[in-house]
Structure 1
């Protein structure tokens, strides 16, 4: 992250003048300011993985009946189990739950109102339902839409902030269109090109 940010700083002035060490130090301060401490990053990553695993487990248990309550219970049960461990602060649990809700909304958007584009690539958290059949998926799409309405979340492009713990994928900077590709779950860095901090999941 620091190397990319330092490179774009030099590029913006046409690689003329300036000092590469100064570029590096400025980039280092910028990245460090926006991202949690290494210890906090490690804790948030572990909590995020456990929460995703818990939500996925509850979704996998849903059989014939799926509705908005199914989604609500998935989050509530997984969040309760995470809190019970006593390993994470209330702030950490709140942050990663918010991000997971964004991921669920983003996945629903990719698949369309009736989930016509349901696939392993687009389904994300709903991948556990991939082999359930069109009738189940139709009900599931309606259930997710109802859950989002009840939760007060509109089915629209979700905005992610630098420093958020996110699942793997491609994110596009809202400021300049530069893309960040994360191969594994990680904290989203600021844009290396324009240094802005808001992204959309692609």
Structure 2
């Protein structure tokens, strides 16, 4: 395994640990989501750094990817009146149960926050090669090729056109 592969796996594990801690924190605090989400995300990011799991730069990158994914899922469910299953654009049997439980729990809380704050998320919803994303399908913004993620992973260049800009497949079908 190359150093680059090890780094990529390290970031994927960091994403999954942050997601789990975020879910646990939001469930245990009982705080209003609109006030608690960003504070909870900051706390789990700092915890990853304090435990030596991620460097400051890695933790900032990973928490940004996690926030993007959760806000994207929450907005899709809110505006398209779909479900998290629609957003993932895949059979839920393909998603490992433990990641689905964690992701949907936090995404649902994030949906409430999104409604309360009515934030403009256009720039944050873009996905790029090299970033980490949760399970689901992404569409290349250059050629339309669909990339399927059965689990958390790094976004590769488009296998068809080598493009590096993507968006959720569910978002395109909802238009």
Tell me the TM-score normalized by structure 2: 0.74
1:171 alignment partner, SS class: strand
Q: Match for 2:114 among 144, 149, 166?
A: 144
Displacement of 1:126 in angstroms is: 6.2
Q: 5 Å matches for 1:44-55?
A: 44-55=11-22
Task: Indicate how the Cα distance of structure 1 residues 60 and 180 shifts in structure 2: closer, same or farther if over 3 A, else same.
Answer: same
Q: Match for 2:160 among 193, 197, 200?
A: 193
Give the number of the structure whose alpha-carbon radius of gyration is greater: 1
Q: Could you list the runs of 5+ residues in structure 1 that have no partner in the other structure? A: 1-35, 131-136
1:37 alignment partner, SS class: helix
Task: Indicate how the Cα distance of structure 1 residues 184 and 81 shifts in structure 2: closer, same or farther if over 3 A, else same.
Answer: same
1:108 alignment partner, SS class: helix
Distance, in Å, in 2 between the alignment partners of 1:75 and 1:148 is 19
1:191 alignment partner, SS class: coil
Q: Match for 2:149 among 175, 182, 186?
A: 182
Displacement of 1:116 in angstroms is: 4.3
Residue 122 of structure 2: aligned partner: 156
Q: Match for 1:41 among 8, 12, 17?
A: 8
**Contact 1:69/1:147, CA 8 A, preserved across alignment:** no
Paired positions, count: 154
Q: Could you list the runs of 5+ residues in structure 2 that have no partner in the other structure? A: 89-99, 170-175
Displacement of 1:51 in angstroms is: 0.7
Task: Indicate how the Cα distance of structure 1 residues 45 and 56 shifts in structure 2: closer, same or farther if over 3 A, else same.
Answer: same
Distance, in Å, in 2 between the alignment partners of 1:167 and 1:182 is 7
Task: Indicate how the Cα distance of structure 1 residues 162 and 46 shifts in structure 2: closer, same or farther if over 3 A, else same.
Answer: same
**Contact 1:45/1:165, CA 8 A, preserved across alignment:** yes
**Contact 1:171/1:201, CA 8 A, preserved across alignment:** yes
